[in-house]
Structure 1
């Protein structure tokens, strides 16, 4: 089980969340009504919160302390969530080892000067005379 899956596990009852966040049960239920957190439910219909839910409640509390109203909090959280997903979608830069291996493969596949390399411009800066 990876770390993200563990953060999503519903573990905490509302009493524990009250102690962790400093919020009252009434405030937590209010934020749930507004869709800011969606705790899981046990078979007995008890709310069970995950680490992610606890972090979100702390974030909501901090935003309200900054003076935002509920609509402002919803908007900010939605914007932050979109920024997270776009950051995850961005391609990751290849490591130096990956670039080296790609260049090596390209040189082995194209002996001689027949084809142009996609790295040709990058390599030129290392070999030009200053």
Structure 2
């Protein structure tokens, strides 16, 4: 048996997949409903997931954490062209400065002692410093 066929073996119940991925059973069923995963079924109609399914679920979770919506996730994983703003999230992130650059600019601005608030690069944008990681 080769490696690719071993990765496709249905081994895990939904409870084990929940523990491996950190997703709820409802989320897993939702992603199945949207065609992102295709778990096998046992004779008793129980879902059985393979290593490939678990990896796919981890990819879905990662993309959602990166800010993609479901249509963006589908487009990315199914290889279709993105058609909405949710799929364009990756392009927005590329144009956005990193946290290190942001902290450096803020430190330079504070050390320069600028008195004109209208000239500040960060006016009204300090919430970015408190992003969830």
TM range (shorter): 0.5 to 0.7
User: For the aligned residues, what is the CA RMSD?
Assistant: 1.1
In structure 1, what is the equivalent of residue 129 of structure 2?
none
Q: Number of aligned pairs?
A: 80
Question: RCO higher in 1 or 2 (8 Å CA, sep ≥ 6)?
Answer: 1
Deviation, 1:50, is 0.1
What is the correspondence of 1:90-105 to structure 2 with a 5 Å cutoff? none
Moved over 3 A (4+): none
What is the correspondence of 1:76-115 to structure 2 with a 5 Å cutoff? 76-79=76-79
- The answer to whether residue 40 in structure 2 is matched with residue 34 in structure 1 is no
Instruction: Give the helix-richer structure, 1 or 2.
Output: 1
Deviation, 1:79, is 2.1
Q: Counterpart of 1:9 in 2: which secondary structure? A: coil
Q: Counterpart of 1:55 in 2: which secondary structure? A: helix
TM-score with structure 2 setting the length: 0.59
TM-score with structure 1 setting the length: 0.60
Distance 2:30 2:76 in 1: 18
